[in-house]
Amino acid sequence: MKAAMRRLAFVLATVLTVAISLSPLAAVAVDDPSEMLPDAHQEARAQAIGSQLRCLVCQNESIEDSSAGLARDLRHVVREHVAKGESDRQIMDWMVGRYGNFIRLSPPLTAGTILLWVMPVLALLVGGLVAFLSFRRARGSGPAPLSDDERTRLTDLT
Amino acid sequence: MSDKTAQPDLTRRRLLMAAPLVVAGGAGIAFWQMLSGMRQGSFDPHDIKAPALNRPVPDFTLPDQSPGQGFGAVDLRALKVPVLVNFFASWCIPCVAEMPQLNALKDRLPIWGIAYKDKPADAQGFVRRAGNPYARIASDLSGMTAIDWGVSGVPESFLIGPGGVIRWHSAAALDEATMHDILLPLAASLRT
């Protein structure tokens, strides 16, 4: 009985841990509620902008997800600019002006990144072309007509 | 199928066979170059290229950090000789490792320090223990000036040319090779 209870408690704890770690709330690393803007709409905008900015300490996390000191400072800067009424574009430009395009988690469309952006369309076009050509070839050259010997065998069989 | 059509068909097949090999070979060479570049240090995908390069220093004024005197953008723009601006902190291990290089450098190139997010008492103790390579020291307690410079961590160094223009940037601790091969020649060329 006791062992069964313990096992149940363990399963519950595991389920809870997984649920908490998967919940979107846990993904936001705002360390302190006082960091957040009082206006819910502005806070949502700040979070949306922050999730597009790379934490330069951890490099594969956004500043909204990271608990590094620099990420906290940058979150604060983003909220200051949002509260001042700046547009998303203005805030992004402010960040890129200081840290370069590396701070953007999605690279901008430039000559250097054009291949990256058009690759899905390119792959679809090339794949479509290959499919189209092979279908056309398959339709054009059917199996060779039966020879006289084969025809006699066929009539014998049926 | 007649012989006439068989010949071009065979050539086309060979070309089609060769295409993936050529693509794979090209990609292989490119990846190999990237990997060997990472080993030799000529290619670093994590390198943060400071956009501050060749721009005037951003506007700022910072208070004194004992035992040095604080400074601001006005002081850097008034300079006639190159200086090295070095962001440091007492809580930063690579900064400790960098101090012997800075001490060796200070007689050939003035170094102005900025204590990044450091308690003034801690920064003072750190500078005293390290032998103070700094001609002037300012305190950036909030870290907001560092963000304006595009600093992503300490130590970080910026070579400021005459007129307060950022001429060179290193997001890592200075080592002897960087100092002799890059920094000092560049500073010398700015002095003319």
Residue B58 domain flag = no
- CA-based nearest distance B185→chain A, Å: 26
Residue B60 domain flag = no
Residue B184 domain flag = yes
Residue B57 domain flag = no
Is the domain defined by A2-103 classed in CATH 2.40.240.10?
no
Does the pLDDT value for residue A146 go beyond 70?
yes
Asked if B91 and B173 sit in the same domain, the reply is: yes
Asked if B78 and B143 sit in the same domain, the reply is: yes
Interface touch A100/B148, C-beta < 8 Å = no
User: Which range (A91-100, B48-57, B106-115) has the least confidence?
Assistant: B48-57
Task: For residue B147, give the chain A residue with the closest CA.
Answer: A98
- A28–chain B Cβ distance below 8 A for any pair: no
Q: Mean pLDDT across the stretch B153-180?
A: 91
Q: What is the pLDDT of residue A35?
A: 80
Interface touch B51/A74, C-beta < 8 Å = no
pLDDT tens for residues B47-90?
666 678 889 999 999 999 989 999 999 999 999 999 999 999 99
Identify whether the C-beta of residue A70 lies closer than 8 Å to the C-beta of residue B152.
yes
Residues of B at the A interface (Cβ-Cβ below 8 Å)?
A: 46, 48-52, 117, 142-144, 147-150, 152-153
- A97–chain B Cβ distance below 8 A for any pair: yes
Asked if B84 and B152 sit in the same domain, the reply is: yes
Does the pLDDT value for residue B5 go beyond 80?
no
Chain A 72-91, residues with CB within 8 Å of chain B CB atoms = 73-74, 77
Domain containing residue B89: CATH number: 3.40.30.10
Interface touch A73/B49, C-beta < 8 Å = no
Arithmetic mean of pLDDT over chain B: 90
Identify whether the C-beta of residue B101 lies closer than 8 Å to the C-beta of residue B176.
yes
Structural domain of B90: 73-191
Max mean pLDDT among A99-113, B118-132, B167-181 falls in B118-132
Does the pLDDT value for residue B121 go beyond 70?
yes
0.80 surpassed by pTM:
no
Q: How many CB atoms lie within 10 A of CB B124?
A: 20
Domain positions in chain A: 2-103, 114-157
ipTM of the complex: 0.75
User: Token pair for residue B72?
Assistant: 């601001």
Q: Which of A80, A98, A101, A119 to mutate to test the interface with B (most CBs of B within 10 A)?
A: A98
Residues in chain A closer than 8 A to B54 (CB atoms): none
Asked if B99 and B166 sit in the same domain, the reply is: yes
User: Token pair for residue B176?
Assistant: 């002897």
Q: What is the longest distance spanned by two Cα atoms in chain A?
A: 92
Interface touch B51/A100, C-beta < 8 Å = yes
Residues in chain A closer than 8 A to B148 (CB atoms): 98
Nearest to A98 among B117, B143, B147 (CB): B147
Beta B111-116 vs B136-140: how paired, if at all?
A: parallel
Task: For residue B143, give the chain A residue with the closest CA.
Answer: A73
Task: For residue B148, give the chain A residue with the closest CA.
Answer: A98
User: Token pair for residue A143?
Assistant: 């199996």
DSSP state letters, B125-159: HHHHHHT---SEEEEESSSHHHHHHT--SSSEEEE
Interface touch B144/A97, C-beta < 8 Å = no
User: Token pair for residue A110?
Assistant: 């430039």
Arithmetic mean of pLDDT over chain A: 83
pLDDT tens for residues A52-63?
999 988 878 999
Q: What is the pLDDT of residue B82?
A: 95
Asked if B116 and B30 sit in the same domain, the reply is: no
- CA-based nearest distance B140→chain A, Å: 13
Give the count of domains, chain B: 2
Asked if B34 and B98 sit in the same domain, the reply is: no
What's A51's DSSP letter? T
Q: What is the pLDDT of residue A18?
A: 59
Does the pLDDT value for residue B189 go beyond 80?
yes
